[in-house]
Amino acid sequence: MMVNDCIEIGLSYDVKALKRLSVLSWPRRRKYDCPSYYKTSAVSRAAGILAARSKSLRRGQPTKNPYSLKPQITAYQGFKIRDGALRIPVGKRSFQYVPLTSHTVSVLSDHAVTVRSFTLTPTSLSLCISKEVHEVECTETIGVDRNLRNLTIGNGSRVVQYDLSDTVRIAEKTVEIIGSFKRNDYRIRKKIASKYGLRRRNRTQHLLHKQTRRIVAEALERKQAIVFENIEGIRRLHRRGNGQGPTYRGRMNGWSFSEAQRQLEYKARWVGLPVIRLSRRETRGTSVTCPQCGERLQEDKRIKRKLWCGECRLMMDRDVVAAVNLSRRGRLRFDRSRAQNGLEGGAVEAVKWNPTPTVILRVDASKSIQETQS
């Protein structure tokens, strides 16, 4: 109710700033009989909702006036973790206790972990935690080439391909099930379809979790920084009218490329591995440039996803080529960043098109794993 009051005041006064909204909404919020930190969290959440609405309007997306329907409690003060339970104050020196799972208790048992806030709904409890980590001194880099059916990780000495074909099978099966619905009631079809969509998302995330967990563990063991390419806007390549069939477009638009990167990034930061994001200009031609001689590779239409180098007279996998080139370009950026920060002495080769960036600091593979060493 406090969130909706703050949203109403923000819409009526056209307020987007948190401080201004807090001042205008205080006379109404002070009437609620609850601890003060819940009032502060309510105006913060309302400001976030109004900011999201303003962003949608700037992009030209039609939006309705927001209204919070789901009851929830959010606070970043006044709570404590005691004896495997979350103690939540409810006012007048009264508390409610929410038991925590054994996995949550084991994570919170680490002294470096701090609980910043919690969000409680009728069906779930979310804890926002942070951890202070030290940057791992890396000796090399590995490139991450994301594809529809695999994740290719490696550098010039070792390349590993992690199979993700099960995610494609899950997506195709879900589309097939939803397409078989015959019920005339649109509301019921939508409700059941959303249930299958949630099931698909959870299964896909779990498969990606197993792969990314092993990738980060091996990178930490070998002290390797992780390099990502920028593939934003790839959805535009698979729109209607591009000469592609609906089945192919649906398969490519259901590709979870951003989820794989999200999981790899937060797991790498959690253990202190550096993460390097290359720009589009820096990753141009990584899939078609020979990692040995630098010549442009030619496609061999007889063998799928294989490229031929006329200079080296070698046949190479397209995904392996991309991973090796990404690792080398990421290594150049990583070395330049360390030299700028004074972590390494000596001169570094200047590259005109490669600006000096800031290095960002901060699961099991399936049975089908292909490993390449050179």
Residue 264 located in a structural domain: yes
Indicate whether 232 and 341 sit together in one domain: yes
Would residue 65 count as lying in a domain?
no
Using DSSP, state whether 239 is helix, strand or coil: coil
- Per the domain annotation, does 6 fall within a domain? yes
Query: What parts of the chain have a pLDDT lower than 50?
Result: 345-368, 374
Predicted confidence at residue 369, as pLDDT, reads 54
Residue 145 and residue 125 in one domain: no
Residues 88 and 216 in one domain: no
Residues 96 and 243 in one domain: no
- The answer to whether the CB of 329 falls within 8 A of the CB of 353 is no
pLDDT of residue 64: 87
Tell me how many domains the chain contains.
3
Looking at residue 370, its pLDDT comes to 55
Same domain membership, residue 251 and residue 183: yes
* Residue reference for tokens 């923000």: 10
Domain membership of residue 165 (yes or no) is: yes
pLDDT number for residue 358? 32
Instruction: Say whether both 24 and 117 belong to one domain.
Output: no
Examine the domain organization and report whether 237 and 216 are in the same domain. Answer: yes
Query: Is residue 64 domain-resident?
Result: no
Among the three residues 16, 35, 58, which one is the final residue of a domain in this structure?
Answer: 58
**Whole-number pLDDT of residue 343:** 56
Based on the fold, state whether residues 79 and 127 are members of the same structural domain.
Answer: yes
Helix residue ranges, H only, 69-119: 102-108
107 and 153 belong to one structural domain: no
Task: Return the SS3 of 162.
Answer: strand
Q: Are residues 166 and 111 in the same domain?
A: no
- Do the Cβ atoms of 215 and 162 come closer than 8 Å? yes
- Helices 36-58 & 2-13, crossing angle to 10 degrees? 40
How far is residue 36's CA from residue 51's CA, in Å, rounded to a whole number? 23
Q: Answer whether residue 66 is part of any domain.
A: no
Q: Tell me: do 205 and 294 sit in the same domain.
A: yes
Position 255 in a domain: yes
How does pLDDT run across 319-372, given as a tens digit for each residue?
999 999 999 998 888 777 766 666 554 333 333 333 333 333 323 333 445 555
d(CA 265, CA 23) in angstroms, rounded, equals: 38
| CA dist., res. 142 & res. 227, Å (int) | 6
Residue from 315, 217, 227 nearest 270 by CA:
217
Residue tagged 């937060």 (tokens): 266
**Last residue in a domain, options 131, 149, 166:** 131
Distance CA 299, CA 295 (A): 13
Q: What is the pLDDT of residues 148-170, one digit of tens each?
A: 888 999 998 899 999 999 999 99
Q: What is the pLDDT of residue 232?
A: 78
pLDDT of residue 181: 86
Q: With respect to residue 67, please indicate whether it lies within any of the assigned structural domains.
A: no
Q: Is 213 left (phi over 0), alpha (psi -120 to 50) or beta?
A: alpha
Residues 94 and 184 in one domain: no
Give the domain range for residue 186: 140-373
